[in-house]
Structure 1
């Protein structure tokens, strides 16, 4: 994209790589239940992850088929569900355009904002201090779109001893996480084996999505909100934030952090 770079006393032409934002409709059994503004990539992963984290399905086996249809005005992810999922859809039904900065717009009630989550306190691996501290650095190698645009978020899956093994990017932090969770499900990755790593802050909906995916450790480069920490603590999720190489702040469930032995000569 052509632009002018302006400084006091000068103006020069520049070319910038910028991300696209496209409406993506999640359509179940012929009915649109959500329209999210998203990066138009990895839509199959997005559809799978959104369906799982919103509780529309309990597993990919509930989705009989998924077809991605591009239109002039956006993209439809058309899913046909197996069995009777009407009650789950009614409980979590949305009719909204989701701006990239908000993940709870359009839910039906205050109760839906505090929905019941799986209890993960007896699940998940242990991580060393250095594995947590370096997690966001490991994610940097999986962010080519960010390198070009400086305008997208990423979510990655870290396995102890292997580092980040999978990641997805999107203009929306919620979308990036949904795409990652969908990709993990489609590749049959067990979320209990590792940690989810985020380039964003830790908000309520990010904790909820991790819980629905069954991942008990959440590592983020930025800050958590107080209510997100309450929910994480109740769900048994370890939250490490401000993870930027040198260290991190550990807020909830520290029992998953392994002590590292210092060897003194």
Structure 2
């Protein structure tokens, strides 16, 4: 606990010296603490030296040197359209720094020095993450977030596109924060219909004098099975790389 406290004290000091406003520092530290609680990892192990991490969060400027006010945007998308939106907004200069505990992509863009980014998603187990990271590193990919068995990677397009990767006039920040595909919405609707139908049949059966205990047991068994089938369908689509058409 002391080590974590010391780390965040040093990080807060470096962020303030780097030009980040105090409210933004407090919000950033709260998100990072929540992330460490979810992952169970140590701060230094997860983020690296506090000074270097602060420089990245503040836009790469040395501590003590004022930095331009950067835009921040937190958003989320389902597995069918996440890569499409990541790369579309990467072309608008949005760099994903991490995925927060709510599963949102925490993105940042410096209007004065915006550049294009590209992204990829890999499906890995916890034990395979390090190997995947090392395998992609030579190509310039670095981890920008992890969520369940997904690993997200980013790299600047400047390596391949050169000066064309620089964005002279970035478009306005998106007004949306949630992107759901048609396929995902259909799954949600199907689940809702199944729940409503089950409730209606239960009410009808009770009204006809059926055994209430037997009905409740049947519903208790059917609900998890339906959830498992839905989870299996999503996992299958992930493994096969299904995308929204």
Query: Is TM more than 0.5 here?
Result: no
Q: Greater share of strand residues, 1 or 2?
A: 1
* TM-score, normalised relative to structure 1: 0.28
Q: Give the structure, 1 or 2, with the largest relative contact order (CA under 8 Å, sep 6 or more).
A: 1
Q: Greater share of helix residues, 1 or 2?
A: 2
